[in-house]
Amino acid sequence: MSLHHTLEGYTVSNKLVNIRTGDKIFFSIFTLIIAVYTQSLFLLLLILFTMSCITIWSGVRIKHYLELMTIPLTFLLPSILVLAFLRGSEPVLTFSIIGMHLAMMREGLELGALLMMRSMTGISCLFFLIMTTPIAEMLDTMKKFRMPEIVVELSFMVYKLIFVLIEEMESTKKAQDARLGYLRGNRIKSLSLLLSAMLVRSLEKAQNMERALEARCYAGKMPSLKLGIKNESENKVHIISPSLILMILFDACLLVMAVGGSVI
């Protein structure tokens, strides 16, 4: 099954689906802010661990979660490694490649580690949100918070089209693999063919989708999951809910730790 469907499947059938979207957004964003500002490695680890646990507990398969986590990791690792060679003065490891002397610095390594933890923690906060909240609810809430319509609509389109791109890339690559397109010497040519084929087909798909939406008078509104609830209990509008209080408490603890700085 494709990535898109796996994700969409989780968002509608996880244990946290009934928690209000606003609460989840608040929780995820606020925790993210703490993660961005804290200097404590311990706190970052704590947040990363907690967020991952909640997400996995809510119904995401560990295998999928780790797979998705490795995607940003592959982008992060090289740049973090470079940092280790550039910052600081106390070498921990020296070696030379083709006449170049390279030294890995202590300070750079530490900074890199902190940076990476911070990024991964931030990503775990966002993953929590994306994997437990259906896109329609997210858009709904964005609208409630008076986000401009164009931003909301754009978010939906980007969300849908990213997956169109990924799916097209996968199927084009499969077709090329089947014809041995990635053998030696063919790489660059195959890759550029892959990209252009992917773009053309994605454009076609996007156009089909646009027409299908237009045919049903789409005006930027996604039906919310609440439509599915048969007996109305969502009429009462509370600002405060138990889950929200719980989340605030959790974040407050984190905040105290971060500001207090007593834990390392």
Partner 1 sequence: MRAHKDEEDIKRDAENMVEVQDLWFSYDKKKWVLKGVDMKLKRGDKTALVGSTGAGKTTLLLHLNGLLTPDKGKINISGTFLSYNKKALTEVRKRVGIVFQNPNDQIVAPIVFQDVALGPVNLGLTEGEVKERVKRALNEINIEDLRDRKAHELSEGEKKKVAIAGVLAMEPNILVLDEPTSGLDPESSEDLLNTIDSLCEQNDNMSVLAATHDVELAYEWADRVMVMREGEIVKSGEPYAVLGDEAVIKSSRLAMPRVLKIYKGIEMMASENPGMPPKSVEELLKVMRDNLWR
Using the minimum distance from each CB to partner 1, give the nearer residue, 106 or 201.
201
User: Which tokens is 16 given?
Assistant: 């946290």
CA atoms within 13 A on the CB side of 106: 4
Using the minimum distance from each CB to partner 1, give the nearer residue, 5 or 15.
5
To partner 1, the closest distance from the beta carbon of 54 in angstroms equals: 21
To partner 1, the closest distance from the beta carbon of 204 in angstroms equals: 9
Single out the residue of 184, 183, 228, 160 nearest to residue 5, CA to CA: 160
To partner 1, the closest distance from the beta carbon of 243 in angstroms equals: 22
Question: What distance in Å separates the CA atoms of residue 22 and residue 28, rounded to the nearest whole number?
Answer: 10
Using the minimum distance from each CB to partner 1, give the nearer residue, 115 or 157.
157
Using the minimum distance from each CB to partner 1, give the nearer residue, 50 or 171.
171
To partner 1, the closest distance from the beta carbon of 162 in angstroms equals: 14
Compute the residue count for the chain.
264
Residues found near partner 1 in the complex (CB under 8 A): 1, 4-5, 8-9, 11-13, 134-136, 160, 205, 208-209, 211-225, 227-228
To partner 1, the closest distance from the beta carbon of 219 in angstroms equals: 5
Q: 224-255: buried (b, 16+ CB within 10 Å) or exposed (e) per residue? A: bbeeeeeeeeeeeeeeeeeebeebbebbeebb
Q: 148-170: buried (b, 16+ CB within 10 Å) or exposed (e) per residue? A: eeeebbeebeebeeebbeebbbe
Using the minimum distance from each CB to partner 1, give the nearer residue, 78 or 223.
223
